[in-house]
Structure 1
Amino acid sequence: MLTGKKILLGITGGIAAFKAASLCSKLVQQGAEVRVIMTESATKFITELTLQALSKHPVYTDTFDEKNPQVIAHIDLADWADLVLVAPATANIIAKMAVGLADDMLSTTLLATEAKIMLAPAMNVHMYTHPTVTRNLAELAARGVLMVEPGSGQLACGYTGKGRMEEPENIILAVEAYFAREKRAAKRPLAGRKVVVTAGGTVERLDPVRYITNDSSGKMGFAIAKAALDLGAEVTIIAGRTDVAPPLNWAGLTFTRVESAQDMYEAVNAVWADTDILVKAAAVADYRPKQAAEHKIKKSGDSMTLELVKNIDILETLGQKKKAQFLIGFAAETDHLEQHAMDKLRRKNCDLLVANDVTAEGAGFGADTNIVNVYDANGLVESIPRASKDEVGLHIMELAATRLTGESK
């Protein structure tokens, strides 16, 4: 799986550094070419000689120790790598990355590389859940940094909880999965397919200046549309109210702006017959005012009664009408995630249902990251840990592509 892949392994100063020796060895055994950068703190836990012997290459620790006068080492390594893997990633290196600090060989190289970066955090459970670390990880995930979530169990400090670096075998699987996704994306598996994505929140008017809406920003829908374009599809976005500007300059994209749930249904229905994949990422209002006033409603009395009537259920309606179309629904939940997701999938005849807990840190409306579970008729298909919405969108569209072609993911 990893033959010929160039992996830059960054090792930082935590007790989990001892696992980096096994990780380096296994990467080499899988055919990868590995170069190693160690921080000064990492050398207190494991020696440079160990990693040199395992990688079969010199180990870098000092920005100013230029081993080859023909190149600048940190730039050369940054350009060389197909993937930069930091394992273990301590709270310190995570903070440096979040703010762009470059005060040693590893942090300087991380700023210089254009390769994908993957982190395997490792630290005390209280450090891992500290608001600053949580914020830094969310910031990095939003920039597209990949995460291999730490495991739970007995920690070196004596505590029990989440924070131990994932085992090398599972990190290898994450690395392989990344390169497999890159390979699939390069084949443009959705070439010739027509994908429709709904995004944002609908607006239901009370009067000319007031309306009912929700917190949907449109970010997830736009991320899915971008992924579909990258995989070769012709894409139509049908968007309600969004907090971010529409991507009007994307080649291959048709953009339609709508307001109400009825408007969105009519726009989707107009292209439904020619649609291969519909992704209903929009948050559509369930109800609308029975009557919308023609003029601004004036304040009177201490209370006001508003009568609402049910909107058309776009997802359910199209689920009943679908023939060859592949239908992906979304469920934003606050409790009993799997129960509600599976119920919605079955009632609305979806092929896939993407569910998230909008109360979770790093997920939900307005965030640049998301945490989702993807379900089909048989149950959970994939859990996607906190990642940028672009990364989540790519996961979803790759999964849809594999279902349409019959390939395994």
Structure 2
Amino acid sequence: MTPQRILLGVTGGIAAYKSAELLRLLKKAGHEVRVVMTEGAMAFVQPMTFQALSGEPVRTSLLDPEAEAGMGHIELARWAERILVAPASANFLARLAHGMADDLLTTVCCATDAPIVLAPAMNQAMWRNPRTLRNVAVLDDDAQITRLGPDEGDQACGDTGPGRMLEPEQILLRLVADQPVDGPLGGRHVVITAGPTREALDPVRYLTNHSSGKMGYALADAARQAGARVTLISGPVQLACPAGVARIDVTTAEEMLSATSRAVDEGCDLFVATAAVADYRPAEVAGDKIKKTDGTVSLSMVPNPDILATIAARTDRPFTVGFAAETRDVAAYARDKMARKKLDMIVANDVSQSGLGFNSDQNAVTVFSGEGEARFGPSDKRALAVDLLDYISHTMNA
């Protein structure tokens, strides 16, 4: 989503601890964020936490003589391009639904023309209460307001049911913003996987590969520059998230599949799978560190889910692009993979070549599709990403 000035409202509830992570993700995605906390929120999380993460003073009171000398609540209402309240408690929803302005957050909501996004969080019985549902119905009818969630599942009180606040990465993913329309991917949602996965052997060891994630991150940046809304599902890498890109961090192949499926569920036009996903994982993960012995050690392995094939097989499948990192017979293996997994396109590279591919800033690839094949590089991965996105978007629109 396009970087914006976002006012994050935090109300009272145990889910307030998740708001700190939400703030971190918003900042990482390039947004400027200011925080308003209610009195109830401060019972769960201290303002200093949000001040440290945002780099901005946290506002907590409507009757702050210093701030209100300059009509601080009006200034906040004008500053915000979007107001996001997460968590939004039952009490806050009730007051907002009835137009009350009895604290700083509700006053700002009443004074702003900016879109308001609510992420409810409360006990399942409170959510199901007819009075809460009536208040929610009023808010849902308000064109200025968008509601995200709540989710269902285990709750802090021990209950199970609807009322959980959506996870921070899901809130970031579902925020709707205007996108540039002058790029080849203007207004489209692009989901990209990048980096390696890790499969645990025991508490201190894991199986992985040499993927640095550089190609996937370069593609995410290029897609964002091409006007797309970009969701980047990333394995463990040492790379900064491109500005304006929503990144979801995962570790294992199963976690990557779950995050990718949720992202595609939100509506996806283009899926690009650059991640080097482990084909197998240990059948069992040892509870304690495996000790060295004089004998050999055998591992029983089971197949990991095939993320690329799973997305390509969906009835609502996006345009699906795979990557094939091979060490020999690159063209033959790539074409076979494209056919077996029913891909629209595959990008193949020979990682046996010195200085190209894994852990390198340079790469050279061959792209196979129904249109034939095309070669790109050797070149810097950032320049290569731009060329690839141009080629992919042309093929999608052909």
TM-score by length of 2: 0.53
* AA of the residue aligned to 1:387: S
Over 3 Å counting, the alpha-carbon distance change for 1:233 and 1:354 in structure 2 is same
Q: Residue deviations 1:334-381, cap 9 Å, x none?
A: 11111111100111111110000001233210010100000003531x
Give 2:103's aligned residue. none
Q: 2:305 corresponds to which residue?
A: 312
Work out the percentage of aligned pairs sharing the same amino acid: 40
**Superposition TM-score, scaled by structure 1 size:** 0.52
How many angstroms does 1:267 deviate by?
0.4
Q: Which residue of 1 aligns with 2:205?
A: 210
Which residues of 2 match residues 94-133 of structure 1 at below 5 A? Answer: none
Partner of 1:246: 240
1:377 matched to which residue of 2?
A: 370
Cα drift, residue 187 of structure 1: 3.4
Q: Does the 8 A contact of 1:200 with 1:283 survive in 2?
A: yes
What's the CA shift for 1:191?
A: 1.2
Secondary structure of the equivalent of 2:363?
Answer: strand
1:329 maps to what in 2?
322
Does residue 189 of structure 1 match 2:181? no
SS in 2 for 1:364: coil
Amino acid at match of 1:326: F
**Tell me, what secondary structure is at the counterpart of 1:215?**
coil
What residue is the counterpart of 1:166 in the other structure? Answer: none
In structure 2, relative to structure 1, the CA distance for the partners of 1:402 and 1:379 (3 Å cut) is closer
Q: Residue type of the partner of 1:230?
A: Q
Q: Report if aligned partners of 1:342, 1:377 keep a CA contact under 8 Å in 2.
A: no
Give 1:402 deviation, angstroms. 1.3
Return the match for 1:346 from 339, 354, 373. Answer: 339
Matched residue, 2:231: 236
**Contact 2:202–2:287, Cα closer than 8 Å, also in 1:** yes
Partner of 1:283: 276
Aligned to 1:402: 394
Distance 2:292 2:315 in 1: 46
Unmatched segments (≥5 aa) in structure 2: 1-179
Residues 199, 237 of structure 1: 8 Å contact kept: yes
**Distance in structure 2 (CA, Å) of the matches to 1:394 and 1:208:** 40
SS in 2 for 1:232: coil
SS of 2:313's partner is: helix
Alignment equivalent of 2:258, drawn from 252, 266, 279: 266
The 2-side partners of 1:307 and 1:233 are apart by: 42
Listed as ranges, the matches of 1:152-231 within 5 Å are: 187-231=182-226
Measured in 2, the distance between the counterparts of 1:322 and 1:186 equals: 27
- The farther-off stretch of 356-365 and 219-228 is 356-365
Rounded Cα–Cα distance in structure 1 between residues aligned with 2:381 and 2:225: 14
Tell me if the contact between 1:345 and 1:377 (Cα under 8 Å) persists in the aligned partners: no
SS in 2 for 1:309: strand
Cα deviations across residues 90-128 of structure 1 (Å, max 9, x unaligned)?
xxxxxxxxxxxxxxxxxxxxxxxxxxxxxxxxxxxxxxx
Structure 2 residue aligned with 1:355: 348
Amino acid at match of 1:187: D
- For 1:314 and 1:246, the matched residues in 2 are separated by 24
Number of aligned pairs? 218
Structure 2 CA distance, aligned partners of 1:225 and 1:213?
A: 22
Write the letter of the residue equivalent to 1:245: L
- Of 365, 384, 388, the residue aligned with 1:392 is 384
